[in-house]
Chain A
Amino acid sequence: MRVLPKLYAILPALLLLTACAATGPKFESEAAPPEDRATVYVYRESGFVGGGVAYTVSANGVEIAALPAGGYFVYHAAPGEVEFTARTEAKTSVTIDARAGATYYIKGTIGVGFFVGHPHLTVVPNDVGAKEIAECNLVPGANTEGAVGPGGPAAKQGPFATARVTIAPADIVGTVAVPGSDDFDVIDRRAKVVMERTTIGHTSMSGVNFEPGEIDLVRAVVGRELSTVRGESGPAPRVTCLVNEFSVTTPATMLYWDVTVDIVLTLQAAGQEREVRAHGVKRTYAWPSESVIKDAAVAALKTIAKESSQALRAMMPSAPEVSR
C-alpha cells in the first residue's frame, strides 16, 4: 500500500511528459521549397525538464503551431522581417529578415519559470540547426503557409482579440495634401514598439493595431501641418520627422483602465531640431475597447498637430507668427 502514494506522484509527471511529445515522422528537409518564400524550420530538441510544456509559436502574430519537446515544423515566410513569438508566463521573440529562397533555423528551448517554464526562441546557424533538427519529429497540422481565416487558425474573437482601431486623419487635420517624400520624410526610430492592451500586473490581453499604421498617421498629421505652413511661408527646406515613440498602453487598477497613447517626435529642418510630445489618456471603468483607444489616440494626434504646427513655424523664419 505504501507504493500507491509514490505512484500517484509519478503518474502526473509521466502524463505530462508523454502527452505533448511530437508524434509525426522524423525530420526530412523539404524537397522543393517555394522559390518566392524563405523556408524556416522551427524545432525544439527533446528534454526531460520542461518536456511537458508545449508553447504556441506565432509568426507576425499568426499562430503556426504548438511546439512540443522533440518536435519541428516548417514555415514558408514571405520576404521581409518576420517576428517569431511564443509565450507562457513570459514572452520570447526573435526576428529574421527573410529572403526568398533562403533557409533559416529557429531553435526553441525552455527554461525554468516561476509557475511554468519560459519559452526561448533564437536563430541558430544553418549547420547547427540542420544537425540538431535531425532527431526531431514533425508537428502535424502546422499552419505552414501562415494562412489566416480559411486554411489557417481562425482569427481570435472577443475581448482578447487584437484591438483594431481605424482613424481617419482627415478628422484631425482636414484634407490638405501631404507633401511628397522628396520634401518630407517620416522615419520610425522607436527602439521598442509597445502597442498592448494590458490588465492588472501588466498582464497582456491583446495587441493593438491602427489602420492606417502609426507611422502613416504621423505622416498624415504632420505632413498636412507642413503643407499648411508652406502655403503661408512659401518654399521651405526639407523636413525630417523622427518617430521616437508611438505607444499604446492600458495600465489598470481594480476599478479602471487608463488608456494611454504617447507620441514623441523630433522634427528636423534647416539644421534645427524641435521635439514634439503628446500624451492622450482616456479613463474607462468598463473595458479598454477600440473606441476608447481611438479617443485617446485622436486626442494625442490633435496635440501633435498643434505642437508640430508651432515647431514648424519656429523652424521656418519666413513663416508668419500665428497664435494658435
Chain B
Amino acid sequence: MRGREPAVREFAWRQRALVFAALLCAGCAATLRVTPEVAGPPPADCVVRAHVDYAGNLDYLPSVLVDDPSADADSVIRYTHEEQYGSSALATGVQLVNPLHLIGMPTGSSDLVVVARLDVMRRGEVVRSFAAAAVMSRNDTMFGEGETLTEMRRRGLLLLKDNMSSQVCADRATTQAILDAATWPASGAR
C-alpha cells in the first residue's frame, strides 16, 4: 500500500466493504413471484356459497368460499393445490475451498413452485376454472437456510389463497350465477 494515494486506499476499502455487503445480502436474498397479478385483496363482504370439495388444511382455503350444505347439490367448487420442489448446490469441493462462503456467499439454492386450481363444477363437469401459481426461490449459505421449505410453502399457499379469493370475487356474479342456476348451461349461456 506504500506510495498509494489516501484517496485510492479509501476507494479500495470502500470497494471491499461493498463487495462484503453485497455477498452478505446475496446470501439472504429470496425471490417470490405470484401469477396472475390481481388488483388487491378481496372485499370483506365477498362470499361465494356452495358445496366445497377440499381435502387440505382449511387455512389455505380461499376465504371467500363458504361450504354451504344447503346449496344446490349439483354445484360443487373444488379447490386443489400442489407443490414442486427443486434445489441446486455448488460442488462440495468448491464449497470447501471457497473462502467467500465464510462471508455469506450462497452455497446453493432451493426453489418451490406452488400451484392452486379452483374448479366450478355442475353435475361433475368443470364449467369454470381459476388458477394461480407462486414461484419462490431462496439461497442457502454456510450459516443456514433462512426461510425453511415449510415456511415457504405456507407463505406461498397463503398468497395463493388471497390471489384466488380476489380472482373469484372479480368474477363473483358469473360464478354465483353458475352455482345457483336451476340448469346449466342455460340456453345461449357460456
Give me the interface of A with B, judged by CB distance under 8 Å. 47, 49-50, 80-81, 83, 85, 90-95, 97, 99, 109, 111-114, 118, 120-124, 185, 187-193, 240, 268-273
Measured between beta carbons, the chain A residues less than 8 angstroms from B110 are: 120, 122
- A118 to B96 CA separation, bound complex (whole angstroms): 13
State the majority secondary structure of interface residues on A. strand
- A187 to B158 CA separation, bound complex (whole angstroms): 11
Measured between beta carbons, the chain B residues less than 8 angstroms from A90 are: 143-145
Give me the interface of B with A, judged by CB distance under 8 Å. 43-45, 55-57, 59, 63, 83, 85, 87, 89, 92-93, 95-96, 101, 107-108, 110, 140, 142-145, 147-151, 153-155, 158
Measured between beta carbons, the chain A residues less than 8 angstroms from B57 are: 80-81, 97
B159 to chain A, nearest CB (A): 9
- A98 to B101 CA separation, bound complex (whole angstroms): 36
- A268 to B89 CA separation, bound complex (whole angstroms): 45
A183 to chain B, nearest CB (A): 12
- A188 to B154 CA separation, bound complex (whole angstroms): 11
Measured between beta carbons, the chain A residues less than 8 angstroms from B83 are: 123
Residues A240 and B143 in contact, CB atoms below 8 Å apart: no
Measured between beta carbons, the chain B residues less than 8 angstroms from A97 are: 56-57
Residues B44 and A114 in contact, CB atoms below 8 Å apart: no
Residues A189 and B158 in contact, CB atoms below 8 Å apart: yes
A51 to chain B, nearest CB (A): 11
Contacts A/B (CB < 8 Å), 6 sampled: A92-B145, A92-B148, A94-B148, A97-B57, A123-B85, A271-B45
Q: A49-B92, A91-B145, A118-B144 are in contact. Are A272 and B44 (CB under 8 A)?
A: yes
Measured between beta carbons, the chain B residues less than 8 angstroms from A189 are: 59, 158
Residues B87 and A118 in contact, CB atoms below 8 Å apart: no
Instruction: Choose one: A95, A118, A124; the contact of B145 (CB below 8 Å).
Output: A118
- A49 to B59 CA separation, bound complex (whole angstroms): 40
Residues A111 and B148 in contact, CB atoms below 8 Å apart: no
Q: A90-B144, A122-B110 are in contact. Are A192 and B44 (CB under 8 A)?
A: no
Residues B143 and A114 in contact, CB atoms below 8 Å apart: yes
A273 to chain B, nearest CB (A): 7
- A47 to B89 CA separation, bound complex (whole angstroms): 14
Residues A95 and B85 in contact, CB atoms below 8 Å apart: no
- A120 to B107 CA separation, bound complex (whole angstroms): 12
Residues A93 and B151 in contact, CB atoms below 8 Å apart: yes
- A90 to B141 CA separation, bound complex (whole angstroms): 10
B152 to chain A, nearest CB (A): 9
Measured between beta carbons, the chain B residues less than 8 angstroms from A80 are: 57
Measured between beta carbons, the chain B residues less than 8 angstroms from A187 are: 59, 63
Besides A111-B108, A118-B140, A272-B44, 13 other CB < 8 A contacts?
A: A81-B56, A93-B151, A95-B154, A99-B55, A109-B87, A112-B107, A185-B63, A187-B63, A189-B59, A191-B155, A240-B63, A270-B45, A271-B45
Residues A271 and B85 in contact, CB atoms below 8 Å apart: no
Residues B92 and A93 in contact, CB atoms below 8 Å apart: no
Question: Which residue of chain A is the closest to B149 with respect to CB atoms?
Answer: A94
- A52 to B188 CA separation, bound complex (whole angstroms): 70
- A271 to B41 CA separation, bound complex (whole angstroms): 12
Measured between beta carbons, the chain B residues less than 8 angstroms from A112 are: 92, 95-96, 101, 107, 142
Q: A192-B151, A240-B63, A272-B44 are in contact. Are A120 and B142 (CB under 8 A)?
A: no
Instruction: Choose one: B93, B101, B148, B151; the contact of A191 (CB below 8 Å).
Output: B151
B80 to chain A, nearest CB (A): 10
- A283 to B89 CA separation, bound complex (whole angstroms): 43
- A192 to B149 CA separation, bound complex (whole angstroms): 11
Query: A-B pairs with the 3 shortest C-beta distances?
Result: A93-B148, A93-B150, A90-B144
Instruction: Choose one: B85, B89, B150; the contact of A111 (CB below 8 Å).
Output: B89
